[in-house]
Amino acid sequence: MSPLKATIRFIVNGERHTVAVEPIKRLLDVLREDLHLTGTKEGCGEGECGSCSVRMNGELVNSCLVPVLQAEGAEIQTVEGLASSGALHPLQQAFLACGGAQCGICTPGMLMAATQLLSLNPNPSQREIREGLAGNLCRCTGFTRIIESVIAAAAPPAGPARQASHAR
Amino acid sequence: MIAPPTLSAVLELMASQPGQWTPIAGGTELMVAHAAGRLAAGRLVSLWGLSELRFIQSTPDTISIGAGTTFRDLRADRGIASSLPLVARASSWIGSIANQSRATIGGNLVNGSPAADSSPALLVYDAEVELISTRGSRRIPYAEFHTGYKLSVLEPDELLFAVHMPLRFQAHRQYLRKVGTRRAMAISKVALGATAMVVDGSITELRLAAASLAAFPTRLFGTEAALLGKRIAPRAIESAREALVAEARPIDDIRSTAEYRKRVGANLLEEFLLSLCSGETTE
Amino acid sequence: MRTGEKTRIVGAAVPRKEGVDKLLGRARYVDDITRDGMIYGATVRSTIPRGLIRSVTYDRRIDWSEFTIVTAADIPGKNHIQMIFADQPCLADGVVNHSDEAIVLLAHPSKHKLREAVSGVKIEYEPLPGVFTIEQSERRQIIVWGADNLIKSFLLEKGDVDSAWSGAAHIIEGEYRTGAQEHLYIENNGMIAEWSQTHGITVWGSLQCPYYVHKSLLAVLDLPGEKVRVIQTETGGAFGGKEDYPSTLAAHAALLAIKSRQPVKMVYDRMEDMAATTKRHPSRIRHRTALDQHGRLLAMAIDIATDAGAYATLSSTVLSRATLHASGPYACPNVRIRSHAWATNTVPYGAFRGFGAPQAIFAVERHMDEIAAALSLDPVQLRRINFLHKGDTTATEQLMREPIILDHLLDRALSESGYYGRREQFARENRLSPVKRGMGIAAFYHGSGFTGSGERTLNSVAGLDVTREGKVRVLVASTEFGQGTNTILTQIAAETIGIDYDDVLMAPPDTSMVPNSGPTVASRTSMVVGRLIERAGAQLVARLRQDTELGETFTRQEFFSACERYRAAHGEVVSLCRYQAPPEVFWDDERYRGEAYPAFAWSIQIAQVAVDLVTYAAEVEQFWTVQEVGRVLNPVLAGGQIEGGVAQGIGYALYEKVILENGHMANNQMTNYIMPSAEDVPPIHVFFEEIPFSHGAFGAKGIGELPHDGPAPAILNAIRDATGVGFHAIPLLPEDLFALLAAPEPVAEAAAR
């Protein structure tokens, strides 16, 4: 006997999607398995590590704790929706230049949390960045260069926007 | 899992099959249980998105918070920040930013953990909870809501509808501090909340509440009695500490020990009382 | 030798080679990958720490015909996963020796049904008594491993310790303990295995050492080398936790894949990963130290005991490194170190960043502060007068031939941190403040690369090839898991040859395509493998010059044209080199004497800690770390490694506790195993010094593990400074601080539990 499925309609990174899945299926699994957007990661399955963070209706959420039924009609942004037509988002550029990503597994969630933070607080202090990212655990960096990356991305541009280039 | 479109539809469902449906709001608790295999998938009724449950309403005398209000909503609300600052502070303790956007005050209270972050603040603000069913609604003091470890007075067909708090604490001295395993995303080892009125160095009104000093979040009535009407002086502080230690019933668990909880609870109390002397607000 | 030459790419902050993919969410970790017809695997594990398996029954309500079931009986080759000893079974066969030991494997297309099925396998045991602590194992009343529970022991002797006690002005003793530590890489262990009659077994997975996995699969599956192919997927953190465990997981996935005839994916969830895989060895280390009236070291007698868990895995090499780091960066004429690795009925402990050195350095650096307190000496001064210098010998009588600048590192650390000024300030403020602040120091070295003749035994091969598309590829089995392997090796290749960073790629970490350059461990990648790449690049250019008239100087285009002329003549363009031991490296494994390591990195770390006497919580407020590492190949990556290592060290000291109940990790969730968050890790100030090491790539020595060695003792030394109380065990949680710092509560009445 197969469990009952529900039809869920939502928008992910600007594209409309319709899926027929168990209503309690985690949004994380729907993104990864049904939409093949594997950028969002599972690190703990209990809402502690933030690797599964996505933005839903303008809020940061841990997608491992969202039953997809509750994403009906939602607008969702994942890491795949950050860069636009070949150009890295300023946060991605900053992470690249400052060393904000090492093994990279926490990075998609971290970028989502940083995007959310900067959308509400365009020029956060170090303390505010630490609070805004406190729900995203990184085991590699000790957070230092992640914070530097967010500060770099938040700073007003000094001159013409730079492409992600090799030299610093 | 289903999501009826209105509150009354949910209540009808719960009335027709009492105890058969588990309400799920933001899921920050229940989805963890489900992932660990502790919760059957069938028979979950979603409350998420019910606007009837998600509100913050102010009158000159009261603030009412719908059970479906998230902690992010609470942090963002100016009225809460100015009139009920301990609620704003407690809301910032919940998990992380991502948890705060989904965790609801109703879920926090109904889950009934002794370590619940919002409870001490609600208790010292004389909160009342409103419970609703197809039979109508009733209000009881929040202090009477929990009856045991993860047990409450909620009937099988009832939902927590709202939390009401009187706006009579603006002039009170206020204190709320949580001790966790780290600065963020920490389950409480012990937390203490307090509101007090001090006149000429004596305590004329006092409410104390703690998390993790009993099987559920609770007022510390014995400790309050030891302090009411007293001048804040070393002897009074000492006997207040003794009263708290005598009244507290914490346990040893995976996070901490009973002895630590009692001692730190007493330390928090002393920190609060000393702040009353110096005129500072702490933490 | 190229050290000292100006470089364009080496030493520059070029962006991480695979960085863009990681930032776009395009990097493919094992759980992002699916294979056609793939099903899922799961493991049934023991629920007791020691006993005989009496029966295995399968719940009749489940249709087992849908499942693939594998037990020890299905293993075609040897039922063991061998790192050093061949004692650890791939699957338990009749007996279990630790909680969460793998007994039965199941595979099914539905993850959901698989979970139900795991609960449906009932194992009946005849429990046997187990041992759970070093002390219980040492007593040998219950034997759980070999003849006497002792997995490995070392005796290291220099001079004549016994004669030193009578002449000593001071003799100071101390006992220090460290707990287990979980790696907590954010990506759990995972593997995919696929079997075909023609190709044999292929595994993809999160791992550090493709050839370790390869070797284990040959033994378990009884297959020839060319029928086993191991491919590393993008790996989300490792820290040593994916050095040996992946061999077990790969074998499990492979056995299911062979029996089911379908690709099988096994990815652990967090609870299983934390409970069932390796962690850092707990230790108990005793020091007895003789000093003269000025505080100079006369003799050190050290006793090291580690808890190895139920099987040997890497315990002997961890013990070796602990032994070789136990006497600290100090000159001492008489040293005796006895060390033992004891078996217990807990999940086997394994490699974790530092590999025995964090344990040993915790003990010696805490002990130095206890000595300083006993002798009323400044802990800084005590260290300074005992530092090793060039020309001194270590405890293994290794002559320090390279310059050692510990004095300078110490001066710099004191200056950058304002150490004395802060201590004075805190001494004043602490009198009235409920928050007590203090400063603490640790001084240490970390031996780069494998111990003694280890590199000779590895006999690594690495090199370069050039593709028809005009790219140079680095051919190594060294893996990237965040530490920067891809970036530094391509930097080295580009610099050596004289082309651009973008001209060089990494060949896929696939055993069918790359030679065995040894495991990615022991801080050896920059120094040893990098050096092989450097030599291979020079060798390639030399061959091109010889065979294709490539000039003394050349442009990128001229280089690639020359490669094509070479290819026309030789069929391919490849340059491989084999490890060459530095001439002075001589090591006696029997007497534990000689050149323990070819090179050492040196560090001074300083912690500023605040202890809140209301909550008894200690927090690190600032951290400074100064290190001499040979050559900084990439400042952003190197800085990142130091910061990350310090953060893990802070967790090791103050937050991370493995709670065992009957040998099972009871707090196996991220909500209960606490690593410091962004709000807990302080600003970390990093300063590098460089004395190029002539046998390392562009002068580089190892840096990956060094930063994890010092934070724990520096932090506990700071707590001693702040409170006047010395704590001797980590993790040091508020409940432990409370036990020694809080005066008893005056009233007796306490609620009975």
- Please check whether residues B219 and B120 belong to one and the same domain: no
The CATH H-level superfamily of A90-154 is [2Fe-2S]-binding domain (1.10.150.120)
- Please check whether residues B100 and B140 belong to one and the same domain: yes
- Please check whether residues B232 and B203 belong to one and the same domain: yes
CATH code assigned at C83: 3.90.1170.50
Sequence-distant (≥ 6) Cβ neighbours of residue B123 within 8 angstroms: B142, B143, B193, B207, B209, B217, B218, B219
Taking only the tens place, the pLDDT of each residue in C211-233 is: 999 999 999 999 999 999 999 99
- Indicate if the pLDDT at residue C73 is higher than 70: yes
What token pair was written down for C184? 């907590």
- Indicate if the pLDDT at residue C51 is higher than 60: yes
Taking only the tens place, the pLDDT of each residue in B90-128 is: 999 998 999 999 999 999 999 999 999 999 999 999 999
Q: How confident is the model at residue A1 (pLDDT cuts 50, 70, 90)?
A: very low
Give, to the nearest 10 degrees, the angle between helix B258-278 and helix C734-741.
70
Contacts of C683 in chain A (CB under 8 A): 126, 144
Q: How far apart are CA B219 and CA B207, in angstroms?
A: 7
- Please check whether residues B130 and B38 belong to one and the same domain: yes
Residue closest to C549 by CA, chosen among A149, C541, C501: C541
Contact by Cβ (8 Å): C389, C737: no
Residue C640: the pLDDT is 98
Cα torsion C113, C115, C117, C120: sign: negative
- Please check whether residues B265 and B212 belong to one and the same domain: yes
Mutant choice from A2, A4, A24, A129 vs B, greatest count of B C-beta within 10 A? A24
Whole-complex ipTM: 0.96
Residue B134 domain-assigned (yes or no): yes
Instruction: Count how many domains chain B has.
Output: 2
- Please check whether residues C480 and C397 belong to one and the same domain: no
The C-alpha of B140 sits at a distance from chain C's nearest C-alpha, in angstroms, of 29
Residue B260 domain-assigned (yes or no): yes
Residue C198 domain-assigned (yes or no): yes
- Please check whether residues B96 and B225 belong to one and the same domain: no
Chains in touch with B (≥3 Cβ pairs < 8 A): A, C
The C-alpha of C199 sits at a distance from chain A's nearest C-alpha, in angstroms, of 28
Residue C140 domain-assigned (yes or no): no
**Where in chain A is CATH 3.10.20.30?**
6-81
- Please check whether residues C442 and C474 belong to one and the same domain: no
Which of B151, B166, B181 corresponds to the end of one domain?
Answer: B166
Question: Across chain A, what does the average pLDDT equal?
Answer: 92
Sequence-distant (≥ 6) Cβ neighbours of residue B280 within 8 angstroms: none
Of the two residues C83 and C341, the one the predictor is more confident about is: C341
Sequence-distant (≥ 6) Cβ neighbours of residue C464 within 8 angstroms: C472, C473, C474, C475, C493, C533, C536, C537, C540, C574, C575
Half-sphere exposure of A131 (CA within 13 A, CB side): 11
- Indicate if the pLDDT at residue C36 is higher than 60: yes
Return the H-helix or E-strand segment holding B119. Answer: helix B119-124
- Please check whether residues C445 and C322 belong to one and the same domain: yes
What token pair was written down for C490? 């391509």
pTM for the whole structure: 0.97
- DSSP strand pairing (C472-475 vs C461-466): antiparallel
Asked if A107 and C681 come within 8 Å (Cβ–Cβ), the reply is: no
Which of B103, B136, B166 corresponds to the end of one domain?
Answer: B166
- Indicate if the pLDDT at residue B47 is higher than 60: yes
Q: How confident is the model at residue C591 (pLDDT cuts 50, 70, 90)?
A: confident
CATH code assigned at B78: 3.30.465.10
Please name the residue of chain A whose CA is at the shortest distance from the CA of residue B39: A24
Q: How confident is the model at residue C581 (pLDDT cuts 50, 70, 90)?
A: confident
Residue C133 domain-assigned (yes or no): no
Q: Where are the alpha helices (DSSP H) in C479-614?
A: 485-497, 530-548, 556-570
User: What is the residue type of C539?
Assistant: Q
Residue B2 domain-assigned (yes or no): no
Distances (CA, A) of C107 to A107, C17, C104, C254, C638: 31, 37, 10, 11, 42
Coil vs helix vs strand at C329 = coil
Which of C551, C578, C605 corresponds to the end of one domain?
Answer: C578
Whether the ω angle into residue C731 lies within 30 degrees of 0, i.e. cis, is: yes
- Indicate if the pLDDT at residue C656 is higher than 70: yes
Chain A, chain B: beta-carbon pairs less than 8 Å apart? 90
- Please check whether residues C595 and C646 belong to one and the same domain: yes
- Please check whether residues B156 and B35 belong to one and the same domain: yes
- Please check whether residues C416 and C308 belong to one and the same domain: yes
Residue C629: the pLDDT is 97
- Please check whether residues C23 and C52 belong to one and the same domain: no
What percent of chain A has a predicted confidence (pLDDT) above 90? Answer: 88
Mutant choice from C116, C435, C614 vs B, greatest count of B C-beta within 10 A? C614
Q: How far is CA C591 from the centre of its chain?
A: 26
Residue closest to C156 by CA, chosen among C345, C28, C379, C336: C336
Instruction: Count how many domains chain C has.
Output: 3
Sequence-distant (≥ 6) Cβ neighbours of residue A48 within 8 angstroms: A137, B185, C669, C670, C671
Cα torsion C101, C107, C110, C114: sign: negative
Residue closest to C726 by CA, chosen among C449, C429, C366: C366
Mean pLDDT check: name the lowest of C4-13, C57-66, C192-201.
C4-13
- Please check whether residues C463 and C444 belong to one and the same domain: no
Print the domain residue range for C78. 33-128+189-267
Please name the residue of chain B whose CA is at the shortest distance from the CA of residue C434: B271
Which of C267, C294, C319 corresponds to the end of one domain?
Answer: C267
Contact by Cβ (8 Å): C334, C160: yes
- Indicate if the pLDDT at residue C746 is higher than 70: no
- Please check whether residues C635 and C710 belong to one and the same domain: yes
- Please check whether residues C554 and C482 belong to one and the same domain: yes
Q: How far apart are CA C395 and CA C327, in angstroms?
A: 7
Print the domain residue range for B13. 7-166
Which of B166, B187, B209 corresponds to the end of one domain?
Answer: B166
Asked if C19 and A79 come within 8 Å (Cβ–Cβ), the reply is: no
Residue closest to C70 by CA, chosen among C255, C254, C246, C208: C255
**Where in chain A is CATH 1.10.150.120?**
90-154
Residue C154 domain-assigned (yes or no): no
Q: How far apart are CA B219 and CA B248, in angstroms?
A: 10
Question: Across chain C, what does the average pLDDT equal?
Answer: 96
Q: How far apart are CA B172 and CA B165, in angstroms?
A: 14
Asked if C746 and B242 come within 8 Å (Cβ–Cβ), the reply is: yes
**Which residues of B lie closer than 8 Å to C, measured between beta carbons?**
36-37, 179, 181-187, 238, 241-242, 245-246, 248-249, 251-252, 254-260, 262-264, 266-268, 270-271
- Please check whether residues B18 and B109 belong to one and the same domain: yes
CATH code assigned at B257: 3.30.390.50
Q: How confident is the model at residue B37 (pLDDT cuts 50, 70, 90)?
A: confident
Please name the residue of chain A whose CA is at the shortest distance from the CA of residue C34: A33
Residue B70 domain-assigned (yes or no): yes
Cα torsion B77, B83, B87, B88: sign: positive
Q: What is the mean pLDDT of residues C141-162?
A: 97
- DSSP strand pairing (C190-196 vs C264-267): antiparallel
Residue C642 domain-assigned (yes or no): yes
Residue B81 domain-assigned (yes or no): yes
- Please check whether residues C543 and C511 belong to one and the same domain: yes
Taking only the tens place, the pLDDT of each residue in C693-734 is: 999 999 999 999 999 999 999 999 999 999 999 999 999 999
Q: How far apart are CA C131 and CA C310, in angstroms?
A: 10
- Please check whether residues C446 and C459 belong to one and the same domain: no
Contacts of B28 in chain A (CB under 8 A): 47, 62, 65
Strand order across the C684-689 sheet: C435-448, C599-612, C617-628, C684-689
Is the domain A6-81 a CATH 3.10.20.30 member? yes
Residue C382: the pLDDT is 98
Q: How far apart are CA C570 and CA C661, in angstroms?
A: 63
Q: What is the mean pLDDT of residues B151-177?
A: 97
Q: What is the 3-state secondary structure (H, E, C) of C452-492?
A: CCHHHHHCCEEEEEECCCCCEEEECCCCCCCCCHHHHHHHH
Taking only the tens place, the pLDDT of each residue in C461-486 is: 999 999 999 999 999 999 999 999 99
Question: Across chain B, what does the average pLDDT equal?
Answer: 95
Distances (CA, A) of C353 to A139, C71, C359: 12, 33, 11
Taking only the tens place, the pLDDT of each residue in C613-644 is: 999 999 999 999 999 999 999 999 999 999 99
- Please check whether residues C608 and C732 belong to one and the same domain: yes
Residue A155: the pLDDT is 81
Please name the residue of chain B whose CA is at the shortest distance from the CA of residue A27: B31
Residue A157: the pLDDT is 62
Contact by Cβ (8 Å): B227, B276: no
Taking only the tens place, the pLDDT of each residue in C225-254 is: 999 999 999 999 999 999 999 999 999 999
Q: What is the mean pLDDT of residues A129-156?
A: 96
Contacts of C14 in chain A (CB under 8 A): 166-167
